[in-house]
Amino acid sequence: MSQSIIPTNLMKQALRNGQPVIGTMVAEFRQPAVMQLLKNAGFQAVIIDNEHGPFSIETIADLSRTARYIGLTPIVRVPDLAYPYLAQSLDAGAQGIMLPRVYTPDQVQQAVEIMKYPPLGRRGCALSRGQMDFKSGSLADTMATANDES
C-alpha cells in the first residue's frame, strides 16, 4: 500500500488517544494569518463558521490550508445539509464538518453519504485538490484515508 496524500486529522488523532482538544470558532476574520494567532494562543482546532460568517469557498480553502499547515484542524460549519456545502468544504481542505439543524438519524446518514467516498458514501472525487495539498497518489489509498480522516 502506498503512503496516503491526505493530511492527518490531528484532532481526530488526539481524540482517538483519549486526549482533549481545545478549539474555537472564526466567524468574521477572513485573513489566513488569524490561524497563526489561534495556534499561538494554544488552540488545536478551529471551526470556520460558514453558516453565519461571510466566507466564500476560496476563503474557506485559504483558511483551511493555513490551519492544516500549522497544525490546527479546520472544521467548517456549513449553512445547511446539502451536497455542495459539505463536498466543497471538504474538497477545499476542511477536515471536518459541523452541521446545523440535524434532528434525525436519516439526516445523519445523509450527511455521511455526502462526506464519504464509495463504498461508504457517494462523494465525488477530484484529485490533487486542496484537501490533498495538491499532491497526487493512489486513488484507492487516498479515498480510504479520506474516509477515515474526515
Tell me the Cα Rg of the chain: 15
Query: In the annotation, is 26 catalytic?
Result: no
Q: Which of 52, 84, 126, 140 is catalytic?
A: 52
Residue 36 has pLDDT above 80, yes or no: yes
For residues 32 and 34, give the distance between their C-alpha atoms in angstroms, rounded to a whole number: 5
Residue 98 has pLDDT above 90, yes or no: yes
Q: Region 34-63: what's the mean pLDDT?
A: 96
Q: 106-139, pLDDT tens digit by residue?
A: 999 999 999 998 888 888 887 656 666 667 777 7
Query: Which listed CATH number (3.30.70.3270, 3.20.20.60, 3.40.50.720, 3.30.930.10) goes with 10-149?
Result: 3.20.20.60
Residue 1 has pLDDT above 50, yes or no: no
Q: What is the residue extent of each domain of the chain?
A: 10-149
What confidence score (pLDDT) does residue 139 get? 75
Residue 4 has pLDDT above 70, yes or no: no
Q: Region 10-19: what's the mean pLDDT?
A: 94
pTM confidence score: 0.86
How does the average pLDDT of the chain come out, rounded? 89
Decide: residue 73, CB within 10 A, 0-12 exposed, 13-18 middle, 19+ buried: buried
